[in-house]
Amino acid sequence: MTEIGPMLDLAEVHESTESSVWSLAWPDGTEMEVEFEPETCRLCLSSDVGPFTEGNQALAMLLLRFNALGHSTGGQRIGVMEDRILFAYEHSAHELDLPLLAEMLMNFADKARTWSELAERYANGEAENGESALHTLAAGIRV
């Protein structure tokens, strides 16, 4: 993971005390956590994409509709933990080399940015753009 920082021009790569978890930060402020699960040889990516305020029915419905798309999301998920919206994706690490890992991380970060922008629009009462973005967001993470 230390090689990926310069390759993606990341602002920060931090390895946690648990050697299989890294925090990545892009210069634009996009952040994600990458966790490697050695038992299953899977990478789990997650990103906090913004606040969820109680009573934001329109955003809650969008999140539910996204998850209901099932397999067409390519394994992407989105949900609420406490008052934060968490975007997540898992992928097998078996076939990943450094260029493929870089592509996956960039694509995930792009989707996280879009979710973050949507969450902000919904928080500001500007919900009309969410539906049009739903199927674009559902397209799988390209690897």
- Position 46 scores a pLDDT of 97
Contacts of 46 (CB under 8 A, 6+ apart): 32, 33, 35, 86, 87, 88, 89
Q: Kindly report which listed range (70-74, 95-99, 100-104) carries the lowest average pLDDT score.
A: 70-74
Q: What is the total count of domains within the chain?
A: 1
- Position 141 scores a pLDDT of 66
Domain-embedded: residue 75? yes
One-letter amino acid at 79 equals G
Q: Is 35 helix (H, G, I), strand (E, B) or coil?
A: strand
Domain-embedded: residue 50? yes
CATH code of 91's domain: 3.30.1460.10
Q: Is 86 helix (H, G, I), strand (E, B) or coil?
A: strand
Domain-embedded: residue 130? yes
pLDDT tens digit string along 46-85?
A: 999 999 987 788 888 889 988 888 778 888 999 999 899 9
Domain housing 60 = 4-138
Q: Give the predicted TM-score (pTM) of the model.
A: 0.89
Give the sign of the dihedral formed by CA 66, CA 81, CA 49, CA 73.
Answer: negative
Domain-embedded: residue 143? no
pLDDT tens digit string along 4-50?
A: 888 998 999 998 887 799 999 999 999 999 999 989 999 999 999 99
- Position 34 scores a pLDDT of 95
